[in-house]
Amino acid sequence: MRLVVVGISHHKAPVELRELVALESTQAARLAAELAEDGEAVCLSTCNRTELYLAGQDGAAAEARAVEALVRLSDAREAELTPFLYRLSDDEAALHLFRVSAGLDSMVPGEGEILGQVRAAYEAGVTGPLLDRAFRQALHAGRKARSETGIGEHPASVASVAAALAEQVFDDIRNRRVLLIGAGKTGESTARNFVSRGAAVSVVANRTPERARELADRFGGQPVALEDVERELERADVVVSSTSSRGFVLAREQVERAVRARRGRPLFLIDIAVPRDLDPAINDLEGCYLYNIDDLQAVVVENVAARMRHAARAEAIVASEAERFRLWRASLEVVPAIASLRARAEQIRAAELAKAETRLGRLSDGERETVESLTAQIVNKLLHLPTVRMKEAAAAPDGVVYADALRHLFGLGDDRAPENRQPR
Written as tens digits, the pLDDT of the chain (424 aa) is 899 999 999 888 888 888 889 898 899 999 999 999 879 999 999 878 999 999 998 999 999 999 999 999 998 788 889 999 999 999 999 999 999 999 899 877 777 778 999 999 999 999 999 999 999 999 999 999 988 988 776 666 777 888 888 888 888 889 899 999 998 887 888 888 889 889 999 999 998 889 899 999 999 999 999 889 999 999 999 999 988 888 899 999 999 999 988 888 999 999 988 789 999 999 999 999 999 988 887 887 777 777 778 888 899 999 999 999 988 887 777 777 788 888 888 888 988 888 887 777 777 888 888 888 999 999 999 988 888 877 777 666 666 677 778 778 888 865 545 455 444 3
Q: How far is residue 307's CA from residue 301's CA, in Å, rounded to a whole number?
A: 10
Q: Residue 16 has what pLDDT?
A: 83
Statement: 2-148 belongs to CATH 3.30.460.30: yes
- Looking only at the bridges linking them, the beta strands covering 49-56 and 2-9 are antiparallel
Domain covering 158-300, topology: Rossmann fold (3.40.50)
Q: How far is residue 149's CA from residue 325's CA, in Å, rounded to a whole number?
A: 21
Q: What is the C-alpha end-to-end distance of the chain, expressed in Å?
A: 40
Judge whether 104 and 145 are in contact, CB under 8 Å. yes
The single-letter DSSP state of residue 281 is G
Cis peptide before 275 (omega within 30 of 0): yes
Phi-psi region of 244 (alpha: psi -120 to 50; beta: other; left: phi over 0): alpha
Q: Residue 400 has what pLDDT?
A: 67
**Domain residue extents for the chain:** 2-148, 158-300, 327-420
The single-letter DSSP state of residue 126 is B
Q: Residue 135 has what pLDDT?
A: 97
Q: Please count the other Cβ atoms lying within 10 Å of the Cβ belonging to residue 137.
A: 19
The single-letter DSSP state of residue 278 is B
Helix 25-35 and helix 113-124: axis angle, to 10°? 50
Judge whether 377 and 343 are in contact, CB under 8 Å. no
DSSP-based three-state secondary structure for 161: helix
Q: Residue 420 has what pLDDT?
A: 52
Catalytic residues: 47
Q: Dump the DSSP string for 306-349.
A: HHHHHHHHHHHHHHHHHHHHHHHHHHHHHHHHHHHHHHHHHHHH
Q: How far is residue 67's CA from residue 6's CA, in Å, rounded to a whole number?
A: 7
Question: Residue 284: what residue type?
Answer: D
Q: How far is residue 21's CA from residue 27's CA, in Å, rounded to a whole number?
A: 11
